[in-house]
Amino acid sequence: MLPINLISEVLPTYASKPRPVLILNAARLKFLLLETATLNRATHRPRTGPEMATWAVELAKCGLEQGREFALPSWYIKAAVQGTLSQLPNPQRYNRWFQDHVAKSLRLTDTYFLTKFQQCERHLEYYGRHNSSEPLRPSVALELGTGWFPIIPIGLALSGVETVYSVDIQSLLSRETVRVTLEMYAKAQARGQVTVLRADAPERIKTVLRMGERASEKDLLAHLGIVLLIADARHLSLDTGSIDLICSNNTLGHIPRAVIVEILRQFHRIVTERGIMSHHIDLADQYAKFDRGITVYNFLKFSDPVWKIFNNDLQYQNRLRLPDFRELHAEAGFEILQESNRSQPLKVLKQVTLASRFERYKAEELAVHDRSAPVFAGFAGA
């Protein structure tokens, strides 16, 4: 996280310009970075001598010259703001306001909605393609990472899945976001932009939208057969062998590797013998969606100590690459049946000077940034 006094310098600039730019003298920037480095993020206590030596080496590599001024990129500013918000009580409350009113990223646009619905369709397509048993639709599905808008669980429910569990470590939903999502489904179906299996889908949507204001987001979704679980996915109370389809969408890239290991073990326990997992994993630098001045590979140039300055709980990025996810699934006992990967031209990747951590990967594997892939589908191993 970046320090509070940097936020005080950043926020007025951030709020006043279409694309925020902050000019800092090199000495001032180095001071702020060193100030961050001296505090252990977990304990807020001073770092040890060896830790500080590591930070000093990394800062020296940045090549900051006295007297020189730097235009701080807008992704630095977003990282600084979110890093500070993550340290506040109930940080998602403030992050929701920031995303909605400053970053303006909490808008359910037609493009975003249709992209997510296409992911839902692909999950069902993979289930039908790789599951030889009947029926072609799963009876029970589980989504990891509900997020701000429940597009995937509603899509699964309207497509004929009888029970859908949607799991998140904390609730980001509100009654309003559920209502907006349902209205988007109604509008898209009327336009012929989405096709769902259930013939009664339009009427079911209308029924839920007519429910009184006393109905919570949990109540609204329950009427569609969706069960919200605010829980740690490593410790689910679901029965062994009870889930036909497990899916996630842009979630696994935001979870520490050690936690993913335990989540996949849990998924191996709850999935049926012929169950399918389908994961849509975004391997891109998420700040590239906000700052067009950087590429999807920008975060690959930072060593782990430097990346800790920018990484935060609200926008945590594990920077795992394609081979890492293959390894994680294999270790948990899943067989990868299919992959669909997207990359930018290698010349874009080569614009980035890689941190030593990433030099061991093949360029073709490192270049996979996903956007709409990779998708992992597997069935539980023996």
What residue segments make up the domains of the chain, in order of their start? 4-102, 110-283+320-380
Token output for 73: 């990129």
Identity at 343, one-letter amino acid code: S
H/E run at residue 278:
strand 271-280
Decide: residue 46, CB within 10 A, 0-12 exposed, 13-18 middle, 19+ buried. Answer: exposed
Identity at 138, one-letter amino acid code: P
Choose the CATH number for 110-283+320-380 among 3.40.50.150, 3.40.50.620, 3.40.50.720, 2.40.50.140: 3.40.50.150
Using CA atoms, how far residue 55 sits from 35, 58, 62, 80, in Å, is: 11, 5, 11, 18
Query: Which residues, in sequence order, are bridge partners of residue 23?
Result: 71
pTM of the model: 0.81
Nearest alpha carbon to residue 248 among 134, 158, 375: 375
pLDDT in tens, the chain (382 residues): 444 444 444 444 444 444 444 444 545 554 555 555 455 545 555 555 555 555 555 544 544 444 455 455 678 777 877 777 777 788 887 777 777 766 666 789 999 999 999 999 999 998 988 876 666 789 999 999 999 999 999 999 999 999 999 999 999 999 999 999 999 999 999 999 998 878 899 999 999 999 978 899 999 999 999 999 999 999 999 999 999 999 999 999 999 999 999 999 999 999 998 888 999 999 999 999 888 889 999 999 999 999 998 898 888 999 999 999 999 998 998 888 888 888 999 999 999 999 999 999 999 999 998 744 333 444 443 3
Coil, strand, or helix at residue 59?
helix
The backbone torsions φ and ψ at residue 249, rounded to the nearest 5 degrees and listed phi first, read -140, 110
Token output for 190: 């009327």
- How far is residue 220's CA from residue 198's CA, in Å, rounded to a whole number? 18
What is the b/e burial string over 256-272, where b = at least 16 CB atoms within 10 angstroms of the residue's CB?
eeeebeebbebbbbbbb
- How far is residue 110's CA from residue 112's CA, in Å, rounded to a whole number? 6
* CB-based contact 62:68 (threshold 8 Å): no
